């Protein structure tokens, strides 16, 4: 993209970038928000930079000002921008972004997440998911176990290389979290599911070849510990599962997958 002014900020993408924007208003402003968000998380619009004004952006995109404003409201709600009278719409610092929001996660993975971001997500998973497994071992019901068994069976039948198997993987992790009966932890499930989804796309999306490791036995170990109400074993098995998932990702992830955002200071 060519710079629109001496600041080096990119010009607004033309209407063709949206591949015939849908007539549905909600889908249109969602598409606008999506494209601006990709430019933000990739660093094309750096923190504290100001977006082109509403009139310029709307004309460049060939959309109404109201559609553009709705898109900005989406990004503002997720912490990526802030709008002030006469000051315009400014990109906020990453510390203000809702980094575990499913959309923000998806935008990062689509743009190519920096290694630092991937590392932090796996650290978050290792803090949350093992403890969820431990609580699930204490509180699970037969219905919870049935959901986990069904997910494991579908994963084994389809493998994680196809959509049905990937959906079953998400369902397994969601069943574990929901078995905690903890509303605060359950509220994190969409973010964790989005992370798992995109990691699986990177791990399995390029090739039909199997990874060296079969992930089903490690998921089964989590299930069996929860079934047996073995709190310590459930926590250890889930921690092991998440660590292996990171190892798998490292084995297939190329330098091109990493974004260009600078490392955090210090």
Which of 47, 62, 96 marks a domain boundary? 96
CB atoms closer than 10 angstroms to residue 71: 24
pLDDT band at 248 (very low <50, low <70, confident <90, very high): confident
pTM of the model: 0.79
Are 131 and 62 in the same domain?
A: no
Region 137-161: mean pLDDT is: 96
Question: What percentage of the chain exceeds 90 in pLDDT?
Answer: 61
Residue 88: its H or E element: strand 88-91
Say which residue the tokens 């084995």 belong to.
Answer: 251
Mean pLDDT of 106-123: 91
Distances in whole angstroms, Cα of residue 41 to Cα of each of 53, 83, 93, 117, 203 = 20, 18, 11, 11, 22
Q: Is the per-residue pLDDT at 112 higher than 80?
A: yes
Per-residue model confidence as pLDDT tens digits over 70-86:
999 999 999 999 998 88
Q: Is the same domain home to 127 and 220?
A: yes
**Token representation of residue 173:** 């992790």
Residue 8: predicted pLDDT: 56
> Do 58 and 111 belong together in one domain?
no
The structural domain count of the chain equals 2
Distances (CA, A) of 201 to 89, 108, 190, 236: 33, 13, 16, 26
Same domain, 119 and 158: yes
pLDDT value of residue 209: 54
Write out pLDDT tens, residues 151-171.
Answer: 999 999 998 888 899 999 999
Q: What's the domain range around 88? A: 15-96
Alpha helix ranges (H) inside the chain: 25-41, 54-61, 65-77, 102-111, 115-139, 142-158, 163-178, 183-186, 189-204, 216-227, 231-252
- Tell me: pLDDT of 21 over 50: no
Q: What is the pLDDT of residue 210?
A: 52
CATH number of the domain at 176, please: 1.20.120.530
The pLDDT of residue 114 is 86
Question: Do residues 87 and 113 share a domain?
Answer: no
49-62 average pLDDT score: 84
Q: Is there a single domain that holds both residue 152 and residue 234?
A: yes
108 and 21 belong to one structural domain: no
Report if residue 6 sits inside a domain.
Answer: no
Assess whether pLDDT exceeds 60 at residue 258: no
Token code pair at residue 96? 């203000």
């Amino acid at each position: 993209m060519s710079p629109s002014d001496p600041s080096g900020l990119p010009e607004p993408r033309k209407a063709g970038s949206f591949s015939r924007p849908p007539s549905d208003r909600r889908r249109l402003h969602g598409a606008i928000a999506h494209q601006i968000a990709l430019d933000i998380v990739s660093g094309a619009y750096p923190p504290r930079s100001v977006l082109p004004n509403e009139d310029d952006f709307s004309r460049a995109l060939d959309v109404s000002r109201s559609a553009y404003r709705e898109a900005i409201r989406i990004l503002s709600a997720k912490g990526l921008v802030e709008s002030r009278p006469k000051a315009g719409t400014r990109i906020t610092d990453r510390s203000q972004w809702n980094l575990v929001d499913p959309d923000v996660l998806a935008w990062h993975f689509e743009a190519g997440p920096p290694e630092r971001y991937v590392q932090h997500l796996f650290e978050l998973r290792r803090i949350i998911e093992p403890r969820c497994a431990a609580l699930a071992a204490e509180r699970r019901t037969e219905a919870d176990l049935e959901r986990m068994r069904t997910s494991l069976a579908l994963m084994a039948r389809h493998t994680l290389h196809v959509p049905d198997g990937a959906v079953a993987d998400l369902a397994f992790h969601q069943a574990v979290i929901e078995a905690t009966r903890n509303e605060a932890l359950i509220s994190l499930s969409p973010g964790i599911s989005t992370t798992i989804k995109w990691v699986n796309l990177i791990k399995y999306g390029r090739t039909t070849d199997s990874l060296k490791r079969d992930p089903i036995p490690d998921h089964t170990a989590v299930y069996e510990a929860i079934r047996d109400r073995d709190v310590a074993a459930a926590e250890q098995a889930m921690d092991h599962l998440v660590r292996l998932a990171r190892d798998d990702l490292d084995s297939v992830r190329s330098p091109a997958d990493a974004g260009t955002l600078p490392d955090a200071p210090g």
